[in-house]
Amino acid sequence: MRQVVTRLERFQQAESLEPMFAWGARMGLSLVVPLLLGYATGHLSEAVWVGLISEGIAWVELKGSVFQRVQIVLAGILITLLSTTLGALTGFSVVFSTLAMFAVGLISGLFKNLGDRASGLAICVYVTFILSNANPPADADAFAHRLLLTGIGGAWCLFLALAFSVTLRQNEPYRRSIALIWRSIGALLEAISQGWNGKSPRSSIQNTFRKEIEVRKALDASIALYGTLAHQVGREQGPEANLAIIRKSTAMVAIQIVAMNEAAESLRIHNIPSEVRNATYGIYRTLTQAAFRMSSYMVSLLPEENLLLRNRITRVSDLCAVLETYIAQKGIPDIERKAFTKMLYLANRTAKLMERTLERLEGATGEKRVYRSYSLLKTIYVLHPGNLLRALQLLFNTHTEHFRYALRMAIASALAMGFSKILPGHHNYWIPFTVILIIQPYIGATLAKARDRVLGTVTGGIVGGLFLLLPNNLFVQEALLFIASVLMVVYVRKNYAVAAFFITVSLVMLLDVERQADLEIILIRAISTLVGAAIAVLSSFVLLPEWDKKKLPEHLSDALRHNQEYLLFTYGFSGKNESWTRLKRLAEMANSRAFESLQRYLEEPGSRQKQIVQPYQLLTHNVRITRDLNQIHLERENPATTLNTTPTVNGTPLVESILKLFRSVQKKQFSGNTPPDSAPEAFAALQITTGETELLQKIYTELQGMENTLLR
């Protein structure tokens, strides 16, 4: 019973941060309710179309404020009407269908320019086009009737979106985006705490960095929704300004956690006294619990969560006292004293930032619900033409890394559409549908998606066929449809094969609602899926292929360049007047892209484990350089640290030698082609602390390691 309660609590916490079940419920209602009404009124075929349209738009994930949610759903309705019209007008011609599929595929791929939420809009485009094209209206009246049904489906989806949003508190979506950062920080702390309890091995560098990337992604996702940064709010004291400051403090906590791990890397855990080791593990675990509690409190604002959080913060201070006693002892190796001194400071600093975050959140407890605070003016502003113009400019920007992917998708889906049109039968549209679902920007990702899609479709078709053997009871089938809709959303990010399974079950049962599903149709769908998967995989190798074997060196060079720019900014040589956190973010994003490219490279055909040794070492050096630069800025912002109270020295020779080494490594990494020289012509005198000197010497050592790696 206790395990059941624990699981329910975890589910509730996860749902409060990322309401996947609510999204699935919205998806299920968007499909099931029109079907029920269709049965009741005798207009089943119309109800199926309304449900499909509403479900297609419901794939747009609701994030951000109500303003942003209404905006993206209205965009989905507009796009659905346009793609339905295009599909209906071209469905009678193989040539026009193929050309239109090229345009739809290109636009669907370019939606990646608009970010993650736009993937739902891409679904609206190609699903409605393909279905409308496969079932063209017979005359003008039928065409007008279809547009009317499409509008009804869009209106129903908009109603559901508002119904699932109006009970939110004013700034709850913003706080939820910050809560996700805290959750990723908790996962990072769990990773770096491994090994300190003496029962498990220490977490690998790769695993730790993967958790850092998750923190980075959560932070970027929040910034994508709420772009105003802490240094841009001035002295405003509004709720959003306050949350921007909280978000910055959260990012600072992540930097300090990484710095704690860096300080501890030189320690041999088994040589440390057990009471000190246990106290260190206790600090990590308590901070982990506090991070997860903060994630929960950020959304709920419950007083009991506040109380538990403060208890955890006090516990950190108690455990830090054990480390203080150990550091004060004589005879401790200098390396241990130095490492624990730094870890002690960073743990206390993290606890203080948590306390300040709690203080800033105290004013949020009286937030109004959205339906009490949302003005008519905001609703009207949603339709402002300037919003549409800016979105179109971003959408059709061909100078992005997504353009080659969009062009490949357009060509492959057009070929699949043309092939499906010349084949006999009515259900061949699953071929282009499968192609556009499977094809990915990179070859390795396409192969994985094709495997999952085929597995999920075949098994889903079999299980869906077995469900058809059940008694023809309306409520049983509708209940199964609702459950399948919920589960396909829940698993779409966790396991695509499982999500594809439930999508197939849903489609098979939906066809049965129209009395069309039989063994032949299920078999046609399975064959079409195999054909579409083959076309998608083949096109990835033939049409503008993106091999990470070639892209990885570019990503590594980009990471090195961003680190150099970060260093130049740190010492005033870049001429830029902006926040250091922007340079930090750019460097970390470059490191993340290189890491993800390395992971994809391992999935490519012909890749070997030995071939990744050099790029992995280069990536590790880049990551450590970024961390050291973060530490310089972090400790500069806190004058009370020991780094800023030590005597200053002339740092000009050291910075100059580091920049020369940067250029030397870049020349070797560019295979002899000298990159643009962004170093200053003359160096001004730099007074830096001895602690900062140590960090710069570490950067110099990392660059030497990179140079030696490139020479081997």
How confident is the model over 209-222, as pLDDT tens digits? 899 999 999 998 88
List, in sequence order, every residue forming a beta bridge with 327; answer none if it has no partner. Answer: none
Q: Is residue 311 part of a domain?
A: yes
In a shared domain, residues 162 and 183: no
* Residue 673 shares a structural domain with residue 615: yes
Q: Across all residues in the chain, what is the average pLDDT?
A: 81
Q: Picking from 83-87, 351-355, 575-579, 658-662, which range would have the lowest pLDDT averaged per residue? A: 575-579
Alpha helices in 18-63 (DSSP H): 20-41, 44-58
- 519 or 187: whose pLDDT is higher? 187
- Which residue, among 6, 30, 16, 9, has the nearest Cα to 488 in the 3D structure? 30
Instruction: Say yes or no: 393 and 406 in one domain.
Output: no
Range of the domain at 445: 401-546
What DSSP letter does each residue of 473-523 carry, written as one string? -HHHHHHHHHHHHHHHHHTTTT-HHHHHHHHHHHHHHHHHHTT---HHHHH
555 found inside a domain: no
Q: Which SS3 state, helix, strand or coil, does residue 159 take?
A: helix
Beta strands in 237-354 (DSSP E): none
Same domain? 363 vs 414: no
pLDDT tens-place string over residues 555-579: 999 999 999 999 988 888 766 677 7
Residues 83 and 156 occupy one common structural domain: yes
Interatomic CA distance for residues 506 and 359, integer angstroms: 48
Closest CA to 404 of 522, 546, 272, 565: 546
Q: What is the pLDDT of residue 674?
A: 46
At 525 the pLDDT is 74
Residue 684 lies in a domain: yes
The DSSP code for 164 is T
Average pLDDT over residues 17-27: 84
Instruction: Indicate the SS3 state at residue 441.
Output: coil
Residue 132 is assigned to a structural domain of this protein: yes
User: Does residue 220 share a domain with residue 96?
Assistant: no
Question: In whole angstroms, how large is the CA radius of gyration of the chain?
Answer: 28
Residue 376 domain flag: no
pLDDT-derived band at 236, boundaries 50, 70, 90: low
Provide the whole-model pTM. Answer: 0.86
Mean pLDDT of the 494-500 span: 79
State the total domains in the chain: 4
Can you point out the beta strands (E) in 550-708?
A: 648-650, 687-689
What per-residue confidence (pLDDT) applies to 253? Answer: 92
Measured CA to CA, the distance from residue 256 to residue 559 in angstroms comes to: 21
Residue 700 lies in a domain: yes
pLDDT band of residue 374 (cuts 50, 70, 90) is low
Is residue 497, in this structure, part of any structural domain at all? yes
For residue 429, give the 3-state DSSP assignment.
coil
Instruction: Average the pLDDT over 674-703 and give the result.
Output: 73
Are 18 and 128 contained in the same domain?
yes
User: Which run of H or of E encompasses 594?
Assistant: helix 580-603
Do 606 and 662 lie in one domain? The reply is yes
Q: What string of H, E and C letters represents the secondary structure of 215-261?
A: HHHHHHHHHHHCCCCHHHCCCCCCHHHHHHHHHHHHHHHHHHHHHHH
Which pLDDT score, from 0 to 100, does residue 524 have?
76
504-515 pLDDT, tens per residue? 777 777 765 554
Phi then psi dihedrals of residue 689, to 5 deg: -75, 165
Say whether 201 sits in a helix, a strand or coil: coil
In this predicted structure, what is the pLDDT of residue 67?
77
Instruction: Check residue 81 and give its pLDDT.
Output: 93
Examine the domain organization and report whether 64 and 6 are in the same domain.
yes
Listed in sequence order, the residues at least 6 apart from 12 whose beta carbon sits closer than 8 Å to its beta carbon are none
The answer to whether residues 407 and 418 belong to one domain is yes
Q: Dig out the tokens for 467 from the structure.
A: 């469900």
Residue 158 covered by a domain:
yes
Q: What pLDDT score does 430 carry?
A: 83
The answer to whether 425 and 524 have CB atoms below 8 angstroms apart is: yes
Work out the number of other CB atoms within 10 angstroms of the CB of residue 340. Answer: 22
Query: In angstroms, rounded to a whole number, what is the distance separating the alpha carbons of residues 18 and 180?
Result: 8
For residue 648, the model assigns a pLDDT of 74
Q: What's the pLDDT at 673?
A: 44
Residues 345 and 69: their CA atoms lie apart, in Å, by 42
Do residues 521 and 637 both lie within one domain? no
Q: Same domain for 143 and 243? A: no
**From CA 257, how far away is CA 189, in angstroms rounded?**
7
User: What pLDDT score was predicted for residue 362?
Assistant: 79
pLDDT at 170: 78
- pLDDT tens for residues 117-145? 677 788 888 888 998 998 899 899 999 99
Q: Which residues of 524-557 are buried (b: 16+ CB within 10 A; e: fewer)?
A: bbbebbbbbbbbbbebbeebeebbbeebbbebbb
Give me the residues paired with residue 169 across strands. Answer: 369
Q: Are 129 and 87 in contact (CB under 8 A)?
A: yes
Range scoring the smallest mean pLDDT among 281-285, 489-493, 561-565: 489-493
Q: Are strands 687-689 and 648-650 parallel, antiparallel or unpaired?
A: antiparallel
Strands (E) across 537-686 are located at: 648-650
pLDDT tens-digit readout, 44-70: 888 888 988 898 888 888 887 777 788
